[in-house]
Chain A
Amino acid sequence: MKVIEIKDLRKTYNESEVKVHAVNGVTLDFEEGEFAAIVGPSGSGKTTLLNMVGGLDDPTSGEVFVGGTKMNELKGEALTDFRLNNIGFVFQSYNLIPVLTAKENTEFVMRLQGKSARDCDARTEELLKSVGLGERMNARPAKLSGGQQQRVAVARALASKPKFILADEPTANLDSTSTETLLDIMEKLNKEENITFVFSTHDARVVKKARRVITIEDGKIISDIRKNGGEKINN
């Protein structure tokens, strides 16, 4: 089942009267349960693509469908609500709420969804245990290492039961041990709970784990490889 459908997506910036095509006519689908990495050099357009897929940025043209809903047509609070209920985000610099504990950060999105405290408690504990932070639930971000913070960010992204998770350079600020741990956790969640993960990354270790690798350059997809004997698509 297709979770994300991208049709001829473009993003053009007008910088000093010179048009820069950050994303230049990308067409792409993601199936449920994929563990995909978008790779490419700096400035290739992978983060811009991810931002448009996540509804954080508006495309210049083209369409993004998430679970059949045309996301470009959503504006304001409707779009915020859509992100809340359908998309999980993991940012490069963790971006946890500094005044909330790991547990409170994780359950925050569920509270925004209007779930009861009892439901939130149970799922939060389950998620934090699954990312190996069962013992650090009451620690605030400042008391956690970078790797631990990013694991809380993953737990937070999963808390709202989204259709997929977008992770923008999730390992960029982590050491190799933390990167390995984080990738193992995400891979496990992907395999056991069939959660779709889409990464933008430079990191070879992420690429190694990914089952699908999409290479983007100058805003265009130049290769799309599925490792389990998949095909190669040139856009």
Chain B
Amino acid sequence: MKRITQMAWRNIWRNRKRTIITSASIFFAIFFAIVMRSFQLGTYDHMIHQSIETYTGFLQLQSPDYFDEPGLDNSFEYSDELLNSINNHPEVKIAVPRVESFALASIGVKSKGIMVNGIDVEKEARLSDPERNLVRYRFDSKIMDEVYKILGLTEDEIDNLKIYENASFNSLNKISLNCGIDDQEILEKIGKITAFEGSYLKENDDGILVSDRLSKFMQLEIGDTLVLMGTGYHGSTAAGLFPVRGIVKIPSPELDNKLVYMSLTRAQEFYGMENMLTTLAINLHDNSEMLVVQKSLSSNLDNNKYVVKNWEEFNPILKQTIEGDSVGGVVFIVILYVIVFFGIFGTVLMMIAERKREFGVLNAIGMKKRLLMYVVIIEMVFIGALGAITGMIASSPLVYLGNKFPIQLSGETAKMYEEMGYEAVMPMASFDPYFWWQAVIVVLMVIGASFFPLKSIRKLKLMKALRA
């Protein structure tokens, strides 16, 4: 065995260039496949994190009819007992009660249909954390002229800032990343000029938080009062006056055009549905256990009163978007590997064709064809492993760094990302199974590419081989 392995290792270096070229093709295929897939999966994780983990929750408890007919009349009764029964599940990280409905918002001559999200102010901070999205800086175009004049910015910096005119920011860090301004002093000055006051809701607050785009459409300022009117529980009339406490920038442009947060008690009062909820958003410790937890929670609940839905059910568009995009990536990787496969196949074919006589001699002196095939397989495994291991090693630091420190986009690209509702970052997935699968794919490719050539060893005609 040792001698066979040694022989195989030395054999692959008989044609050094060919071995290096074949291994290099595997190296590059693995490297690009890992990096590309890591970016893809990292982006999907990030999309899920933004849309699901920090907004809707991985699971939602609803009334059985709510899924088909979402409305206040299909809400359910909320009690501490129910909340405890959910929170007591070992896999549940947090359960957050919500009342979600619609209303007509109006101020002055402006009015618009909006979405109302009644939240438990304290608990929601641990899920969607609206306070994090509070607008703290606004690049009003009038103020920005002043910024350009007094700060002595470079042309590039001004160009980057101009892209963001009328934009809102949650932090100075975000301004720095998006606008590409590194100078702390300048940032602080910009912060002072563009500062926007606003505060988060308090428990049982009777005020509201308004989404950024909606606030701009309605020309709302902090302290303004918004009139909300709508249909409450069981057809009752819902109407009220709500002072604006703060503006929140919601990553999704669609929601940013229409969302209003108010405290849960105020929302229940507004819609006339005390102790009722439309949804209970649930996040988990381990998201991969989602389906198991969904099943286990469902089995512990009265299914006539409650159902547990997972995010793929209540957000099929996100699921389909990810699946559709993922297929594109997989197709690219398949094409990459098919090209490499034929490279490996050609190498095995040549290796066998040029050593026909040697195989004949080895068989003549007593080496079984089985053992000959074994030597060729080991040679191919060596070539495959060389490419695969070096490819994995070379891509590891990139994957690690890309995961720990995602690429922050700036300028036009960042704005484009944010307009699509995504944070302007390009994270990479960690060392998940996709990483190790590349090695498995190479092993399968090597075995597949060796299959046909190995058959020619099995059918080797001794005399023909000796005369080759």
User: Quick one: closest B residue to A108, CB to CB?
Assistant: B3
- The smallest C-beta distance from A15 to any residue of chain B, in angstroms, reads 15
Which positions 94-117 of chain A face chain B at CB distance < 8 Å? 95, 97-100, 104, 108-109, 111-113
Let me know if A57 and B463 touch, CB within 8 A: yes
Interface string of B368-385 (1 = CB under 8 A from A): 111100000000000000
Decide yes or no whether B364 CB sits under 8 A from chain A.
yes
Closest chain A CB from B132 CB (angstroms): 64
A contact residues around B357 at 8 Å (CB)? 95
List B359-414 residues whose CB lies under 8 Å from chain A: 361-371
A98-B7 in contact given A83-B366, A84-B366 (Cβ < 8 Å): no
Q: Is the CB of A77 within 8 A of B364?
A: no
Is A56 in contact with B14, judged by CB distance below 8 angstroms?
Answer: no
Q: Specify which of A51, A108, A156 lies most central, judged by the most chain B CB atoms within 10 Å of its CB.
A: A108
- Taken residue by residue from 51 to 69, chain A's Cβ proximity to chain B (1 for < 8 Å, 0 otherwise) reads as 1001011000000000000
Contact A109 B366 (CB under 8 A): yes
Chain A residues, Cβ within 8 Å of B363? 80
Contacts of B322-365 to chain A: CB distance below 8 A = 357-358, 361-365
Which of A112, A156, A160 has the most chain B CB atoms closer than 10 A to its own CB? A112
Q: A57, A89, A104, A160: which contacts B3 (Cβ < 8 A)?
A: A104
Q: How far is the CB of B376 from chain A (nearest CB, A)?
A: 14
**Chain A residue with Cβ nearest B371:** A112
Contact B366–A98 (Cβ < 8 Å): no
Are B367 and A54 in contact, CB atoms less than 8 angstroms apart?
no
What's the interface size class on A, roughly? 20 to 34
A97, B366: Cβ atoms under 8 Å? no
In contact, B366 and A80 (Cβ under 8 angstroms): yes
- Across the interface, do A98 and B14 meet the contact criterion of CB distance under 8 Å? yes
Answer yes or no: A72 CB below 8 A from chain B CBs.
Answer: no
A85 within 8 A of B: yes
Q: Are B3 and A85 in contact (CB under 8 A)?
A: no
Bound form: Cα–Cα A157–B371 in Å: 19
**Interface check B123, CB cutoff 8 A:** no
Given that A99-B7, A104-B3 are contacting pairs, would A112 and B364 also be in contact in the complex, using a CB cutoff of 8 Å?
no
Closest beta carbon of chain B to A136's beta carbon, Å:
18
Pairwise interchain contact A89-B364, C-beta atoms closer than 8 A: yes
Asked whether, in the complex, the Cβ of B358 is within 8 Å of the Cβ of A97, the reply is yes
Produce 1/0 per residue, A144-174, CB < 8 A to B.
0000000000001100100000000000000
Please state if A99 and B11 are interface contacts (CB–CB under 8 Å): yes
Residues of A near B466 (CB, < 8 A) are 56
- Contact in complex: A56, B364 (CB < 8 Å): yes
- Tell whether, in the assembled complex, residue B463 and residue A112 are in contact, meaning their CB atoms are under 8 Å apart: no
In this assembly, does B104 line the interface, its C-beta being within 8 Å of a C-beta of chain A? no
- Interface residue from A77, A83, A98, A104 paired with B365 (Cβ < 8 Å): A83
Question: B366 touches which one: A57, A100, A104, A160 (CB < 8 A)?
Answer: A160
Shortest CB-to-CB span from B6 to chain A, Å, is 8
In the complex, whether A31 has a CB less than 8 A from a CB of chain B is no
B49 within 8 A of A: no
The main secondary structure of chain B at its interface with chain A is helix
Number of contact residues on B: which range applies?
Answer: 20 to 34
Min Cβ gap B191→A in Å is 70
B462 at the interface (CB under 8 A from A): yes
Q: B319 within 8 Å of A by Cβ? A: no
Binary contact readout B1-20 vs A (1 if CB under 8 angstroms, 0 otherwise): 00100010011001000000
In whole Å, how far is A118's beta carbon from the nearest beta carbon of chain B?
14
* Shortest distance from the beta carbon of B283 to any chain A beta carbon, whole Å: 60
Inside 8 A of A100's CB, which chain B residues have their CB? 7, 10
The docked-state distance in angstroms from the alpha carbon of A108 to that of B361 is 13
Q: How many angstroms from the CA of A155 to the CA of B305 in the assembled complex?
A: 89
**Distance in angstroms between the alpha carbons of A77 and B463 in the assembled complex:** 16
Contact A81 B463 (CB under 8 A): no
Q: A56-B463, A56-B466, A104-B3 are in contact. Are A99 and B14 (CB under 8 A)?
A: yes
Which residues does chain B contribute within 8 Å of A157, judged by CB atoms?
365
Chain A residues with CB under 8 Å of B365's CB are 83-84, 89, 108-109, 112, 156-157
Q: Chain A contacts of B366 at CB under 8 A? A: 80-81, 83-85, 109, 112-113, 160
Complex Cα spacing A85 to B11, Å:
26
User: Closest CB-CB distance, A90 to chain B, in whole Å?
Assistant: 10
A154 CB to nearest chain B CB (Å): 13
Q: Which residues of A contact B14 (CB under 8 A)?
A: 98-99
Across-interface contacts of A56 in B (CB, < 8 A):
364, 462-463, 466
Output the nearest chain B residue to A57 by Cβ-Cβ distance. Answer: B463
Min CB distance B337 to A, Å, is 30
Chain B residues near A112 (CB-CB < 8 A): 365-367, 371
CB-based contact A57/B362 at 8 Å: no
The CA-CA distance from A111 to B368 in the complex, in Å, is: 13
> From A117, which residue of chain B is reached at the shortest CB distance?
B2
Closest chain B CB from A30 CB (angstroms): 19
* CA A80 to CA B11, docked complex, whole Å: 23
User: Quick one: which of B14, B363, B466 has the most chain A CB within 10 A?
Assistant: B466
Chain A 112-147 interface mask (CB, 8 Å, partner B; 1/0): 110000000000000000000000000000000000
List which B418-468 residues lie within 8 A (CB) of chain A.
Answer: 462-463, 466
* In the complex, chain B residues 4-40 whose Cβ is within 8 Å of any chain A Cβ: 7, 10-11, 14
CA distance A160 to B367 in the complex (A): 12
Cβ of B404 to closest chain A Cβ, rounded Å = 45
| Shortest CB distance A110–B (Å) | 10
- Other 20 A-B pairs with CB < 8 A, given A77-B369, A80-B369: A56-B364, A56-B462, A56-B463, A80-B366, A80-B367, A81-B368, A83-B364, A84-B366, A91-B361, A95-B361, A98-B14, A98-B358, A99-B7, A99-B10, A104-B3, A111-B3, A112-B366, A112-B367, A156-B365, A160-B366
Q: List 20 A-B contacts (CB under 8 A).
A: A54-B364, A56-B364, A57-B463, A77-B368, A77-B370, A80-B363, A80-B368, A80-B369, A84-B367, A89-B364, A95-B358, A97-B7, A98-B14, A99-B14, A100-B10, A104-B3, A109-B366, A112-B371, A156-B365, A157-B365
Chain A to chain B: the 4 pairs with minimum beta-carbon distance, closest first:
A84-B366, A99-B10, A95-B361, A57-B463
